[in-house]
């Protein structure tokens, strides 16, 4: 949207001049760039203010039915701009593998709480909803409001019975073609940046929903957040493979977890070598 606002700011100048002529005056030298920047900043600020306002209008106690197309559209329009504003560049590979694969289970490693935002930005057509810790709803209430509208599901990791209910709700989202479901099978963000063991229970979603599994990795989010606004940073998002539903159904959760863990591990090692050579 930032590029749209740049064009709009440029187009607004001759319109303003039509009603209040100034382009052929001496003051135009400094007034034109000042107006251009001012209009661009104003449009961007209005967009962000509208985004925030819509978030605060969400009623967390009201169940979400369907895809909430308005909120998904708003998020899809806003996220690319937010990443540019905070100076984070996302370089993605393999996203074409996921084209037309809806609904699906999206599996990714987990480095930081902004990882879901990267997936939402790079795979918007999959309408991802995520399974996240229930603590988010108290620790990050504004984020939780958008999560609610994007078909995200809170999970109680300390209560197996409640966790099982969340798994079943995730299966329903996929079977009803309401949303794809994104999971981070490590269960927690990796504090050391390494890929850790998976909680295999998450893969019950794919088996019960009989859906394809999209295997992804993300790198750089844990370091990017340390330099937001101050310094440009790069995040890499890679779609490694899509495991068809028929292939998923031939495996149990342990076999599926081992296959995906190996794929992620190899790609993360390769990505680490590439980043080291670039430095």
Predicted confidence (pLDDT) per residue in 84-110, tens digit: 999 999 999 999 999 999 999 999 999
When pLDDT is averaged across residues 138-166 and rounded to a whole number, the result is: 89
Tens-place pLDDT, residues 204-239? 999 999 999 999 999 999 999 998 888 999 999 999
The total number of structural domains in the chain stands at 2
User: Based on the domain organization, do 83 and 114 belong to the same domain?
Assistant: yes
Helices of type H across 111-196: 115-122, 136-139, 141-149, 160-175
User: Based on the domain organization, do 13 and 124 belong to the same domain?
Assistant: no
When pLDDT is averaged across residues 39-50 and rounded to a whole number, the result is: 96
Q: What is the pLDDT of residue 58?
A: 93
Tens-place pLDDT, residues 168-197? 999 999 999 999 999 999 988 998 889 999
User: Based on the domain organization, do 129 and 44 belong to the same domain?
Assistant: no
**Residue where a domain stops, chosen among 36, 53, 70:** 53
Tens-place pLDDT, residues 235-275? 999 999 999 999 999 999 999 999 999 999 999 999 887 66
When pLDDT is averaged across residues 25-37 and rounded to a whole number, the result is: 85
3-class state of residue 242 by DSSP: strand
User: Based on the domain organization, do 81 and 32 belong to the same domain?
Assistant: no
Residue 26 lies in domain: 2-53
The token pair at 2 is 């930032």
CA distance 271 to 279: 13
pTM of the entire structure? 0.90
User: Based on the domain organization, do 99 and 20 belong to the same domain?
Assistant: no
Tens-place pLDDT, residues 66-89? 888 999 999 999 999 999 999 999
Secondary structure element (H or E) that encloses residue 8, with its range: helix 2-19
The token pair at 211 is 């859906």
User: Based on the domain organization, do 36 and 72 belong to the same domain?
Assistant: no
CATH number at residue 166: 3.40.1130.10
Q: How many residues does the chain have?
A: 279
Tens-place pLDDT, residues 117-137? 999 999 999 999 999 888 888
Instruction: DSSP letter for 64, please.
Output: P
User: Based on the domain organization, do 129 and 263 belong to the same domain?
Assistant: yes
User: Based on the domain organization, do 252 and 160 belong to the same domain?
Assistant: yes
User: Based on the domain organization, do 224 and 123 belong to the same domain?
Assistant: yes
User: Based on the domain organization, do 70 and 124 belong to the same domain?
Assistant: yes
Asked if 234 and 224 touch (Cβ cutoff 8 Å), the reply is: yes
DSSP E strands in 30-155: the ranges are 88-93, 105-108, 128-133, 153-155
Q: What is the pLDDT of residue 279?
A: 52
Instruction: List, edge to edge, every strand of the sheet that includes 180-183.
Output: 88-93, 233-243, 213-219, 105-108, 180-183, 128-133, 153-155
User: Based on the domain organization, do 171 and 143 belong to the same domain?
Assistant: yes
User: Based on the domain organization, do 124 and 18 belong to the same domain?
Assistant: no
């Amino acid at each position: 949207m930032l590029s749209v606002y740049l064009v709009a700011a440029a187009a607004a100048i001759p319109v303003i001049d039509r009603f209040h002529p100034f382009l052929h005056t001496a003051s135009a030298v400094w007034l034109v760039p000042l107006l251009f920047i001012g209009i661009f900043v104003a449009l961007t600020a209005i967009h962000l203010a509208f985004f925030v306002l819509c978030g605060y209008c969400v009623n967390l106690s009201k169940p979400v039915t369907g895809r909430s197309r308005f909120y998904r559209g708003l998020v899809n329009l806003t996220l690319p701009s937010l990443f540019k504003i905070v100076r984070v560049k996302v370089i993605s590979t393999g996203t074409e593998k996921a084209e037309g694969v809806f609904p699906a289970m999206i599996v990714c490693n987990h480095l930081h709480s902004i990882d879901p935002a990267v997936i939402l930005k790079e795979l918007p057509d999959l309408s991802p909803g995520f399974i996240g810790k229930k603590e988010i709803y108290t620790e990050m209430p504004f984020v939780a409001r958008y999560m609610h509208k994007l078909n995200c599901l809170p999970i109680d990791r300390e209560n197996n019975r409640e966790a099982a209910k969340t798994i079943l709700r995730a299966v329903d989202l996929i079977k009803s073609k309401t949303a794809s479901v994104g999971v981070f099978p490590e269960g927690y963000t990796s504090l050391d940046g390494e890929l850790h063991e998976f909680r295999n229970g998450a893969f019950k979603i794919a088996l019960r929903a009989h859906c394809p599994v999209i295997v992804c990795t993300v790198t750089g989010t844990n370091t990017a957040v340390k330099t937001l606004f101050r310094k440009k940073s790069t995040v890499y998002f890679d779609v490694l493979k899509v495991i068809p539903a028929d292939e998923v159904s031939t495996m149990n959760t342990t076999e599926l977890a081992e296959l995906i863990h190996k794929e992620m591990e190899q790609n993360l090692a390769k990505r680490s070598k590439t980043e080291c050579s670039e430095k």
